[in-house]
């Protein structure tokens, strides 16, 4: 079986044998980005294995719940039918923290007729990338992923706190770009970089972000599917490494009150495959019409895509004025107050940064959605608004303020559904409604504090 990058199953078996692998983790990313799947002994992992999982496994909420009725079952059979899994051999990696030699392989999901399951996250990203490929274009992305290190927390009712570093003390002040603050966690990051090296993850710069215990890791630019795989692997790797150093790593968008939220800024550009030219730049180095149309697409469609960029109720706590997170869809060059930024770059590296996306977003879904917005902009030749050259925080909110509002916008946006697939949008919104309903059952401390005796 030939898969991406022309890596055949026989070559995969050779790779496993050379490393004396005894177990295989067969992984499928679900809608939340959680790794689902099965663990097999090496001798059971064969080309004709025919591994299967129920269809709904990739289409459940973060609470593990499913809808009990409604449009969800217009897409997913109520008979609990199977998906047929096929390994993408190019994704194979060693599990560096495993005691015995263990490999992990991401699988794609197909139905019994050999068609990709349309609501599986990798399927959606493949669908969008195929649109660009049909035009002879290759999307290039580079994510910047923020996260917090926090002290172990076994009681969900207790607020999170920064962890203890090598000095024996926790951070109590803002340490943006501090080298010494990063060095507080050297033992952890030495393990993280070692794990990433063993797994072949193309991580680049590590910096300390604004919040106490908040870090950022940057990835080298590459094609969207391989980078989504790397972000998926990295999240899993970082959480495991943190646990081994008696702390948690979290990609929640807003884990600590009073601290900035965590984003996944995605830099994106388009390359003409025939010439290798960045189509965001003209021959004379000026921005191309496609560059502006792409921005126009982001401006028009990002609000309706917010349920994919900010997928949880917690996500909307991050999007507030003057907190290093955007509140609108203005665009600008070298301006970090806007939602859509064009960094300073030579013409061959001209790119657009979507700063709206949270670190809690599923990378496959987020990449697919932002590329879909830009695709629609180019296809419809949407002109952007004038460049914002001042402080965009002085402008109005232009983004949904809650998950409920975002889901309503997504449901009514037919253009995005056409690009991403109506089956995906139906399943995604139905699953998110279940999560939102679960959240609404919870009474928060704020409500008890301010409403109990005053209303």
Q: What tens digit of pLDDT does each residue of 12-29 get? A: 999 999 999 999 999 999
Position 430 in a domain? no
Mean pLDDT of 222-232: 97
Question: Which pLDDT does position 3 carry in this prediction?
Answer: 38
Question: Which pLDDT does position 1 carry in this prediction?
Answer: 31
Position 108 in a domain? yes
Say if residue 319's pLDDT is above 50: yes
Position 447 in a domain? no
Say if residue 9's pLDDT is above 90: no
Mean pLDDT computed over every residue of the chain: 94
Are residues 150 and 296 located together in one domain of the fold?
yes
Last residue of a domain, one of 63, 92, 117: 117
**What Rg value do the Cα atoms of the chain yield, rounded?**
22
* Nearest C-alpha neighbor of 362 from the set 198, 125, 138, 142: 125
445 token code pair: 């401390």
Question: Which pLDDT does position 217 carry in this prediction?
Answer: 94
Question: Which pLDDT does position 210 carry in this prediction?
Answer: 85
Distance CA 302, CA 387 (A): 17
pLDDT band at 169 (very low <50, low <70, confident <90, very high): confident
* CATH number where 48 lies: 3.10.20.70
Distance CA 8, CA 28 (A): 19
**Collapsed DSSP state (helix, strand, coil) of residue 255:** coil
Are residues 225 and 283 located together in one domain of the fold?
yes
The CA–CA distances, whole Å, from 356 to 48, 63, 222, 367, 396 equal 43, 24, 20, 12, 15
Question: Which pLDDT does position 5 carry in this prediction?
Answer: 58
Position 445 in a domain? no
Mean pLDDT of 258-281: 97
Question: Which pLDDT does position 129 carry in this prediction?
Answer: 98
Instruction: Look at 157-166, 215-224, 387-396 and tell me which has the smallest mean pLDDT.
Output: 157-166
Position 196 in a domain? yes
Are residues 102 and 173 located together in one domain of the fold?
no
* Nearest C-alpha neighbor of 357 from the set 316, 387, 386, 392: 316
pLDDT band at 48 (very low <50, low <70, confident <90, very high): confident
Are residues 238 and 359 located together in one domain of the fold?
yes
Are residues 92 and 135 located together in one domain of the fold?
no
For residue 215, the tally of other CB atoms under 10 A from its CB is: 23
Position 122 in a domain? no
* Residue 239 near residue 249 (C-beta atoms within 8 A): yes
Question: Which pLDDT does position 236 carry in this prediction?
Answer: 96
Question: Which pLDDT does position 222 carry in this prediction?
Answer: 95
Mean pLDDT of 159-165: 91
Are residues 70 and 162 located together in one domain of the fold?
no
Are residues 107 and 211 located together in one domain of the fold?
no
Are residues 94 and 150 located together in one domain of the fold?
no
Are residues 91 and 161 located together in one domain of the fold?
no
Instruction: Look at 157-161, 170-174, 281-285, 325-329 and tell me which has the smallest mean pLDDT.
Output: 170-174
Last residue of a domain, one of 88, 117, 146: 117
Question: Which pLDDT does position 398 carry in this prediction?
Answer: 96
Are residues 293 and 331 located together in one domain of the fold?
yes
Last residue of a domain, one of 84, 117, 150: 117
Supply the pTM of this predicted model: 0.96
Say if residue 4's pLDDT is above 50: no
Position 437 in a domain? no
Position 182 in a domain? yes
Q: What is the pLDDT of residues 120-142, one digit of tens each?
A: 999 999 999 999 999 999 999 99
Are residues 177 and 225 located together in one domain of the fold?
yes
Are residues 251 and 361 located together in one domain of the fold?
yes
The pLDDT > 70 percentage for the chain reads 98
Mean pLDDT of 96-118: 96
Mean pLDDT of 69-78: 94
Q: Name the β-bridge partners of 218.
A: 144
Residue 9 contacts by C-beta under 8 Å, 6 or more apart in sequence?
1, 3, 47, 87, 89
Q: What is the pLDDT of residues 390-429, one digit of tens each?
A: 999 999 999 999 999 999 999 999 999 999 999 999 999 9
The pLDDT > 90 percentage for the chain reads 87
Mean pLDDT of 208-222: 91
Give the structural domain span for 89.
Answer: 4-117
The CA–CA distances, whole Å, from 297 to 230, 260, 310, 332 equal 27, 28, 18, 15
Distance CA 414, CA 266 (A): 24
Reported residue count of the chain is 455
* CATH number where 165 lies: 3.30.590.10
Instruction: Tell me how many domains the chain contains.
Output: 2
């Amino acid at each position: 079986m030939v898969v991406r990058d022309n890596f055949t199953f026989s070559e995969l078996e050779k790779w496993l044998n050379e490393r004396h692998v005894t177990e295989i983790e067969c992984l499928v990313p679900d809608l939340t980005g959680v790794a689902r799947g099965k663990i097999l002994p090496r001798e059971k992992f064969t080309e004709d294995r025919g591994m299967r999982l129920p269809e709904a496994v990739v289409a459940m909420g973060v609470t593990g719940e499913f809808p009990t009725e409604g449009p969800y079952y217009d897409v997913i059979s109520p008979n609990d039918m199977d998906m047929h899994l096929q390994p993408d051999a190019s994704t194979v990696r060693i599990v560096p923290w495993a005691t015995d030699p263990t490999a992990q392989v991401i699988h794609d999901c197909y139905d019994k007729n050999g068609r990709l399951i349309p609501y599986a996250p990798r399927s959606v990203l493949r669908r969008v990338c195929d649109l660009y490929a049909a035009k002879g274009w290759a999307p290039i992305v580079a994510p910047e992923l923020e996260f917090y290190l926090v002290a172990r927390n076994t009681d969900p009712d207790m607020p999170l706190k920064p962890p203890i570093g090598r000095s024996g003390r926790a951070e109590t002040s803002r340490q943006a770009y501090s080298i010494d603050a990063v060095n507080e966690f050297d033992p952890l990051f030495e393990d993280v970089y070692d794990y990433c090296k063993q797994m072949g993850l193309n991580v680049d710069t590590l910096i300390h972000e604004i919040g106490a215990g908040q870090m950022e890791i940057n990835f080298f630019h590459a094609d969207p599917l391989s980078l989504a795989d790397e972000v998926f692997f990295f999240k899993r790797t970082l959480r495991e490494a943190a646990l081994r150093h008696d702390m948690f790593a979290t990609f929640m968008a807003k884990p600590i009150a009073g601290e900035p939220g965590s984003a996944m800024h995605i830099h994106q550009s388009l390359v003409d495959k025939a010439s290798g030219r960045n189509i965001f730049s003209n021959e004379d180095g000026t921005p191309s019409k496609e560059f502006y149309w792409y921005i126009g697409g982001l401006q028009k469609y990002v609000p309706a895509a917010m349920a994919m960029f900010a997928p949880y109720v917690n996500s909307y706590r991050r999007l507030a004025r003057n907190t290093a997170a955007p509140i609108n869809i203005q665009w600008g060059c070298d301006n970090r107050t806007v939602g859509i930024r064009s960094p300073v770059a030579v013409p061959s590296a001209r790119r657009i940064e979507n700063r709206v996306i949270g670190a809690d977003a599923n990378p496959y879904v987020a990449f697919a959605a932002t590329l879909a917005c830009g695709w629609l902009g180019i296809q419809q030749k949407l002109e952007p608004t004038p460049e914002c050259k001042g402080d965009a925080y002085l402008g109005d909110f232009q983004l949904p303020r809650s998950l409920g509002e975002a889901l309503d916008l997504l449901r009514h946006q037919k253009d995005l559904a056409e690009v991403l697939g109506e089956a995906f949008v139906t399943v995604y919104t139905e699953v998110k409604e279940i999560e939102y309903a679960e959240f609404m059952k919870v009474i928060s401390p704020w409500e008890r504090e301010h409403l109990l005796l005053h209303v």
